[in-house]
Amino acid sequence: MLPPPIVRRLVLTPFLFVLTLLLVVVFPVAYAVAYVVGRERRRAARLLWFALVWGTRESAAVLECGWLWLRRRTRDDRHYDIIRRYVAGLYAAAERVLGLRLLIEGETEGDTGREPADGDRPLIVLSRHAGPGDALLLVHHLLTDYLRRPRVVMKAMLQLDPCIDIAANRMPNAWVSPGGGAVDDIGRLAAGLGPRDALVIFPEGGNFSPERRRRAIRRLARLRRVREAERATRMRNLMPPRPGGVLAALDAAPTADVVFVAHVGLDHMATPGDVWRHVPLTEPVHALWWRIPAEDVPADRAARTDWLYTQWERADAWISANKAPAAK
């Protein structure tokens, strides 16, 4: 069970500062040892450096949020600037230290990687969820390249992270608990979308894994949603989308364009051991974005569910064509 906000703020926030301070103090010796005794790829040194950046960036972001609280500006849009700097710092460190390279293709990007000038209308962004940090990459791209203000549907347990807990609760977002839906919250978020806002939903409901995929298909079969179960079975790289939140968002924001995001390059890192083995990254993270105007989204509820599966099948086919072959 998630502790109440007062407990999280009084316990986890000081713990973040203490942990970061400890990391700063021991870093010179720990990094030197990791660098000297590490193997050729120096994984320990790389991950230690990234941990230092993460801790210091997160602590700085929490302090900035505290400064806004002291000034009674807890609903100020400056929180987006705080998150933009925080995520951009992590992204830059991942490029320098972990070997991250991000390649994006798609109709929404053009040659410059930035949104077209006529893009001032709400967005509903429906993304695959697979691998560590994919949500941060998505938020970074929306904030920095699209200059959007993301509203994210995310797991309630992420509030154990002090920066997410404080900053995200001061901005319009929705929290999903295990066994509980957030359809009404998603509808309210979508209804308030402005022309430069983007509602981010991960329709699979969690990070992809083969076992979760099998469970999701069995669930569809139990509910006698036979056609959806059959289509989900044919998709090898994705879990079937859960249409409830997506349909609520489309109903509440009929003028919003819909952007779909598929990606490969992080999906093979499901455990800490996987991360250790693949650092530094030797292949780029490759993403496909495609944008569907609001006018082309079906109006009927059943047709929208079919349309959502069709887009998900397109994502699955692209992932199959672009993912790295399995290691032998």
pLDDT 10s digits, 14-40:
999 999 999 999 999 999 999 888 777
Q: Could you tell me what percent of the chain has a pLDDT over 70?
A: 94
Q: What is the pTM of this model?
A: 0.92
> What pLDDT is attached to residue 179?
66
Tokens (6 digits) for 34: 């990791």
Mean pLDDT of the 77-86 span: 96
In the chain, the DSSP E strands lie at 102-106, 123-127, 149-155, 174-176, 197-201, 257-264, 285-292
Mean pLDDT of the 140-159 span: 94
Count the neighbouring beta carbons within 10 Å of the beta carbon of residue 221: 15
Is the pLDDT assigned to residue 244 strictly greater than 50?
Answer: yes
Mean pLDDT of the 230-249 span: 95
> What pLDDT is attached to residue 85?
96
> Cis peptide leading into 280, omega within 30 of 0?
yes
- Mutual orientation of helices 13-37 and 43-70 as an angle, nearest 10°? 160
d(CA 283, CA 188) in angstroms, rounded, equals 39
Give per-residue pLDDT as tens, 96-105. 999 999 999 8
Contacts of 11 (CB under 8 A, 6+ apart): 3
Average pLDDT, the chain: 91
Per-domain residue ranges of the chain: 5-322
> What pLDDT is attached to residue 327?
47
Q: Could you tell me what percent of the chain has a pLDDT over 90?
A: 79
